[in-house]
Structure 1
Amino acid sequence: MRTGAPAQHHGYYHEAVRYDRDDELLAVVVPFLLGGVDAGEPTYVALGEHTAALVRAALPARCGVEFLPGGEMYARPASAIRSYRQLLAEQVAAGARQIRIIGEVPRSAFGATWDWWARYESAINHAYDDFPLWSMCAYDARVTPPEVLADVARTHPRFATADGRHVPSSAWTPPTAYLRENRAIVPDPLQAGPPTIELADPTAAAARAAVHLADRGQVPADDLDDLVVAVSETVTNALRHGRPPVRLRVWSGADRIVATVGDGGDGPADPFCGLLPASHDDAPGGLGLWITYQSCSHVTWHRDDDGYTLRLTVGNLPTGG
């Protein structure tokens, strides 16, 4: 049973807070947080710097709410899931019967990388459901694009409102359906030109060499190493589990490297692949893709008439939507 929640509920109680004014946000969040403290529940804030300051100023001093580094928690979707699951497991092991969190994805996610953050918001309905978690995700409608708000309505089962209601989302789509949808990829501007390197049916060794050839020192050495491993893993998965031909393309930019790996197959069958480790060690792309999602600056995929393509980026991401 969920103490203080609007109804009995086991597992993850996932809500969004869509607000147009600061006082509207506070009307939802402050009672939510103080109610958690009063109930003796671990209660956390994982908001961006501006929003966290707003909430902190509205709370009584030393009230017992713990503030997490929002920017670090939401560095990358798969990393966020891993970090939160660790936090939740620790609290449950310490005896917590319910945990409360208010968080928000970074506003920088509302552009070209929104696709994987939308998948994150969908996937956590499953990823956190084995924990007694009640969380709210804050979205400022003044700065959130309409297409992002549309995804918020599809990935959150309900909305919390300033007048104390918990309203079911009419657009709610279960993650097993949402995550299988073929979302359009926002092209990286580098892809408007020819690739620096293009290989057909490369070996894993040839794929690693191609990434090194594309390196001009434009990304940190650790990021380059991560991309080398990610491309090698992706090519290996495509050769082993996909359909020929396997295609590797690499673009080298001034501040980033973009690589795509495509094959003629349909891609992983597991809708959570990449965001969660595979439940079976032999699942196609399971652990390798999960590591890739945590090591690249952006990962996205698309299916078309030619098959399945995964795009990996390290370095500075392009701005804009």
Structure 2
Amino acid sequence: MTFLRPTGNWDGTRLAHEGFIFSTDSEVVERVVPFVLEGFARGEPVLVVAGERVRSLLARHLGTDLGRLATFAAAETWWRGGHDTLLAYDRDLRDLRARAPSWRLAAEPVWLAREDGREWSRFEAVANRCLDAMPYYSLCLHDAQRLPTAVLTAVARSHPLTWAGAAPAPQPAYEDPIGFLRAVQPPWTGRPGGAVVDVVTAPVQARRAMSAALPGDRRARLGDVVLATHEIVVNALRGSAFAELATWTDGEAFVVEVTDAGPGLPDETLGYVPPDPVDGPRGMWLAWSLADDAAVRTGPAGTAVRLYFRR
């Protein structure tokens, strides 16, 4: 669980993650401008990655102080899919940590307004865990005029802090990252009767099975399917003598399910967490980045992972 540190009392040692939902220009100015100026006063690098509306307001109200920002960038150019966007953030933050004791970021994920950008809510939730040790204040801006209600609800569930009048306060709707991920992943229904099922004891068997099972009209995804399945099977066989591999088609999605009888996953967020660049586990991260969606059921009796590949 992320510690809750409002601006002003923040000690600059770990992540403070605040979601700010705004509707009017004055709300943006009254929250973001003091946030930026406080960073300047504390000698912290201040980064702003936002949409055109927010950038225009800041340019108008900061005047010559705009040049003091360490970054002032258009958020529209940053989206490259959930995994690649978070990976870019992670690399930039690691670089900052090597150069500054603490910093702050005002970021507006404008891509949440797009259907293909909605997955970012999962990465915002996971940031509470994977970035917790980073010494920075993250002010996440969300425009209520542009974002649908479901996205705004996810903002409350994925940010430990929210702006409440005159100061940040604990967000009562906030959920633990694992609980949030379980709630938003594809619903887990029973395996259909027509599923093709194989038992594999080596990754090479899984690769062959995937090559044979993928329908002809989906062969363009063969590389993604084979590599993602390989990574999950490798993980499964680390804790189990065999893995069960099932495949079926569900509407537009080709579904791959890998089931094992191992001890369960140590952390269900791994598929969304950028791996350590030196020696971090990266199998789930790679599989999740190749698939269009994923779902997990895990416990002491074993783990089942489903990967979804659309046309």
Shared fold, TM over 0.5: yes
Q: Tell me the percent identity.
A: 25
Give 1:239's aligned residue. 237
Give 2:260's aligned residue. 263
After superposition, the Cα gap between the structure-2 partners of 1:297 and 1:193, relative to the gap in structure 1 and judged at 3 Å, is same
Shift of 1:310: 1.8
- The root-mean-square deviation of aligned C-alpha atoms, in Å, is 4.1
Could you list the per-position Cα deviations for residues 65-113 of structure 1 after superposition, in whole angstroms to 9, with x for gaps in the alignment? 42446356454444344322211121232335323232326326778x9
- CA separation in 1, counterparts of 2:263 and 2:145? 38
- CA separation in 2, counterparts of 1:242 and 1:154? 35
User: Alignment partner for residue 307 of structure 2, among 304, 312, 318?
Assistant: 312
- After alignment, is 268-277 or 8-17 more displaced? 268-277
After superposition, the Cα gap between the structure-2 partners of 1:100 and 1:282, relative to the gap in structure 1 and judged at 3 Å, is closer
Aligned partners of 2:186 and 2:294 also within 8 Å: no
- Equivalent runs, 1:294-309 vs 2, <5 Å: 294-302=289-297, 308-309=303-304
- CA separation in 1, counterparts of 2:137 and 2:271? 24
Q: Which amino acid aligns with 1:178?
A: G
Give 2:186's aligned residue. 186
- After alignment, is 211-220 or 265-274 more displaced? 211-220
After superposition, the Cα gap between the structure-2 partners of 1:264 and 1:71, relative to the gap in structure 1 and judged at 3 Å, is farther
Q: What SS does structure 1 have at the residue aligned with 2:272?
A: coil
Q: Which amino acid aligns with 2:186?
A: V
Could you list the per-position Cα deviations for residues 190-246 of structure 1 after superposition, in whole angstroms to 9, with x for gaps in the alignment? x99876x723213422322343342646575xx642331110111232233258661
Aligned partners of 1:36 and 1:100 also within 8 Å: no
- After alignment, is 244-253 or 123-132 more displaced? 244-253
Give 2:49's aligned residue. 46
User: Alignment partner for residue 168 of structure 2, among 166, 169, 175?
Assistant: 166
- Equivalent runs, 1:263-302 vs 2, <5 Å: 263-264=260-261, 267-276=264-273, 286-302=281-297
- CA separation in 1, counterparts of 2:25 and 2:259? 45
Q: Which amino acid aligns with 1:183?
A: A
Could you list the per-position Cα deviations for residues 43-79 of structure 1 after superposition, in whole angstroms to 9, with x for gaps in the alignment? 33334xxxx1101211226713424463564544443
**Number of corresponding residues:** 296
Aligned partners of 1:158 and 1:166 also within 8 Å: yes
User: Alignment partner for residue 85 of structure 1, among 77, 84, 90?
Assistant: 90
Aligned partners of 2:263 and 2:302 also within 8 Å: yes
Aligned partners of 1:16 and 1:156 also within 8 Å: yes
- Equivalent runs, 1:128-147 vs 2, <5 Å: 128-142=131-145, 144=147, 146=149
TM-score (norm 1): 0.72
- CA separation in 1, counterparts of 2:77 and 2:230? 27
User: Alignment partner for residue 251 of structure 1, among 243, 249, 252?
Assistant: 249
After superposition, the Cα gap between the structure-2 partners of 1:137 and 1:8, relative to the gap in structure 1 and judged at 3 Å, is closer
After superposition, the Cα gap between the structure-2 partners of 1:96 and 1:269, relative to the gap in structure 1 and judged at 3 Å, is closer
Residue 59 (structure 1) aligned with residue 62 (structure 2): no
Residue 106 (structure 1) aligned with residue 111 (structure 2): yes
Aligned partners of 2:271 and 2:288 also within 8 Å: yes
User: Alignment partner for residue 124 of structure 2, among 118, 121, 124?
Assistant: 121
Q: Which has the higher helix share?
A: 2
Return 5+ residue gaps in structure 2 as ranges.
Answer: 1-5
- After alignment, is 244-253 or 6-15 more displaced? 244-253
After superposition, the Cα gap between the structure-2 partners of 1:69 and 1:57, relative to the gap in structure 1 and judged at 3 Å, is closer
- CA separation in 1, counterparts of 2:241 and 2:142? 41
Aligned partners of 1:30 and 1:55 also within 8 Å: no
TM-score (norm 2): 0.74
After superposition, the Cα gap between the structure-2 partners of 1:241 and 1:67, relative to the gap in structure 1 and judged at 3 Å, is farther
- CA separation in 1, counterparts of 2:84 and 2:166? 32
Q: What SS does structure 1 have at the residue aligned with 2:8?
A: coil
Q: What SS does structure 2 have at the residue aligned with 1:129?
A: coil
After superposition, the Cα gap between the structure-2 partners of 1:193 and 1:74, relative to the gap in structure 1 and judged at 3 Å, is farther
